[in-house]
Amino acid sequence: MKKLICLFMALVMVAALAACGIFGQSGDSDYKYVKENGKLIIGYTVYAPMNYFDENGNFTGFDTELAMIVCEKLGVEPQFVEIIWDTKEVELNAKSIDCIWNGLTITPERQETMEITKPYVKNAQVVLMKKGASYDGTKSLIGKSVAAEQGSAGEDTVKADENLKQATYVPKTLQTDCLMEVKAGTVDAAVLDLTLAKTMTGEGTNYEDIVIVDYLAEEDYGVAFRKGSDLCEKVNKIFDELKKDGTMAKLAEKYGL
C-alpha cells in the first residue's frame, strides 16, 4: 500500500510540474527572453535585395539593415542565422531562431501559427523565362517544367494556378537555385518574388538572359515571431516610427523596392 501511495504522489507531482511548465511557457514574455539573451536571432535565406552578400563579401540588404536598426532600438544585438526556408517554422518554435525576417509573405495560414508584423514591403510573384522563349500566359507552361522555392509564396502560386498545376513542378531549396535552373535550361520557367527578380536579372547581372514574362499574385511582406510573442507589437511600433521619420523609405529607395 505504501508503494502505491508513493507512486500516486509521484505521479501527482509530475503532473503538477508539467502543468506549471505548460502555463509558464504560455505566459512567458518573448521580449524578456530576447533581452535576457542580449540578442535577436534572425532566420534568413540568401535573397537579394533582402539579405545577401555584396561583391566585397559584406552581409547586407534591405531586411538586414532594417533588422539592425530595429535591434538597436530594442537594445539587443542582431544575430543572423541562415535557415532552410521549408523548415522555418520548426526553427522558430524550437527557439533556434527568434524571428523570420527575410521577405516573408503574409498569409492567413501563417497568421494562424505565427505572430506576424504589419506589412512593410509590397511584393508580387512573377514568371521568369529565358529571353526569346514563347509565353502567352500560364497556359503556355502546361506540360512544361516550372521551378519555385520550397515552402515559398512562389510554390503556393504554382500549386494554386490551374495551368501551372499541369506543369512539372521542380521544388528548389533557394530562389537563386531556380534562376540557375532556368539559365541552364533544365527547367522552362521559374516563379519567384518580384523583389528578387528585379535585383538578380537584367543588364549587368549573372542572369542577363532571363526576363520577367508575367506578374501573378500580389502580396505583402511581414516579420514572423512565435505565436503570441509580445515582440511583434514592439517591432510594429518601431516600424511606425521608421515610416514616419522616412528611414524605411530611404532604405527602400537604396535597395530598389
One digit per residue, the tens of pLDDT, for the chain of length 257 reads 434 444 444 444 434 333 333 333 445 899 999 999 999 999 999 988 999 999 899 999 999 999 999 999 999 999 999 999 999 999 999 999 999 999 899 999 999 999 999 999 988 999 999 999 999 999 999 999 999 999 888 999 999 999 999 999 999 999 999 999 999 999 999 999 998 998 899 888 999 999 999 999 888 999 999 999 999 999 999 999 999 999 999 999 998 88
CB 204, CB 177: distance < 8 Å: no
pTM of the full structure: 0.71
Amino acid letter for position 241? E
Query: Could you count the other beta carbons within 10 Å of the beta carbon of residue 148?
Result: 26
Interior angle at CA 227, CA 243 and CA 79, nearest 5: 60
Question: What is residue 8's predicted lDDT score, i.e. its pLDDT?
Answer: 41
- C-alpha distances (whole Å) from 225 to each of 113, 163, 166 are 10, 34, 35
Q: Encode pLDDT of 20-51 as tens digits.
A: 333 334 458 999 999 999 999 999 999 889 99
Cα radius of gyration rounded to whole Å, the chain? 22
